[in-house]
């Protein structure tokens, strides 16, 4: 779309100076740089851990949720991520589930939020994301990002589904890993018989274009 607009503008301005030697025209990039900011409305971070409770025949997902997160995403030409200007921060001490005892254990023993109060996600690269970005479409793709959690920084791959609008993007990004990846202690809480060694992280997002 940008390419077409610039081409029409050049034609409307009339013929330019003669090009000696028949040099090819300069290639116009498909996507202009842009910056997207995480909206407080419609965004939250979650973790899910499968656990088996005493007295129940089937396993249950413990889900911790917080809306205390910030983030921005800077895109360069052709939709490439500018990692130096892109990051998401989640305040881990605000994560809550349906069980206060579990929350206390996770904050103090598993996440150790007094020492490591934040999780920081730095996006690096999109995989299979169309370029230029669609004006209106639902798209599935992957994102490579560095996640800093509990004093460790590890590369992660996120599965992303997103609905694109003219000035906003709404969607869900997920990844999962064993507790030991970030040196985490598996929670041990009364009435919990077992906890699966797998953490699923979810970032529900609404990004709005800045400017």
Confidence of residue 114 (pLDDT cuts 50, 70, 90): very high
Report the number of distinct structural domains present in the chain: 1
Structure-block tokens of residue 90: 């989640």
Q: Give domain status of residue 168, yes or no.
A: yes
Q: Are 46 and 64 in contact (CB under 8 A)?
A: yes
Q: Give domain status of residue 8, yes or no.
A: no
Q: Are 30 and 198 in contact (CB under 8 A)?
A: no
Q: Give domain status of residue 86, yes or no.
A: yes
The percent of residues above 70 in pLDDT, for the chain, comes to 80
Q: Give domain status of residue 44, yes or no.
A: yes
CATH number at residue 160: 2.40.128.110
* Alpha carbons 129 and 119: distance in angstroms, whole number: 25
Averaged confidence pLDDT in the chain:
83
pLDDT digits (tens, 9 = 90+) for 17-65: 444 444 454 443 445 678 999 999 999 999 999 887 665 556 788 899 9
Average pLDDT of the residues in 156-174: 94
pLDDT of residue 133 exceeding 90, the answer is no
Q: Give domain status of residue 194, yes or no.
A: yes
Segments forming the whole domain that contains residue 66: 29-209
Peptide bond into 156 cis (omega under 30): no
Q: Give domain status of residue 14, yes or no.
A: no
* Alpha carbons 176 and 13: distance in angstroms, whole number: 54
Q: Is 86 helix (H, G, I), strand (E, B) or coil?
A: coil
pLDDT of residue 14 exceeding 80, the answer is no
Of the listed ranges 16-25, 148-157, 161-170, the least confidently predicted one is: 16-25
Q: What is the pTM of this model?
A: 0.80
């Amino acid at each position: 779309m940008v390419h077409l607009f610039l081409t029409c503008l050049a034609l409307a301005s009339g013929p330019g100076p003669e090009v000696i030697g028949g040099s090819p025209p300069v290639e116009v990039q498909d996507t202009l740089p842009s910056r997207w900011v995480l909206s407080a409305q419609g965004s939250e971070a979650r973790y899910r851990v499968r656990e088996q409770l005493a007295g129940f025949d089937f396993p249950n997902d413990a889900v911790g949720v917080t809306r205390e997160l910030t983030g921005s995403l800077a895109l360069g030409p052709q939709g490439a991520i500018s990692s130096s200007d892109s990051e998401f921060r989640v305040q881990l001490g605000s994560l809550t589930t349906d069980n206060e005892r579990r929350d206390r254990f996770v904050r103090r023993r598993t996440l150790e939020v007094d020492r490591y109060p934040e999780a920081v996600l730095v996006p690096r690269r999109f995989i299979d994301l169309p370029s230029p970005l669609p004006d209106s479409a639902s798209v599935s793709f992957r994102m490579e990002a560095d996640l800093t959690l509990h004093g460790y920084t590890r590369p992660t791959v996120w599965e992303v589904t997103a609905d694109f609008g003219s000035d906003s993007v709404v969607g869900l990004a997920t990844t999962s890993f064993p507790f030991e990846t970030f040196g985490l202690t598996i929670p041990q809480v009364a009435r919990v018989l077992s906890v699966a060694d797998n953490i699923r992280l979810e970032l529900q997002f609404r990004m709005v274009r800045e400017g």
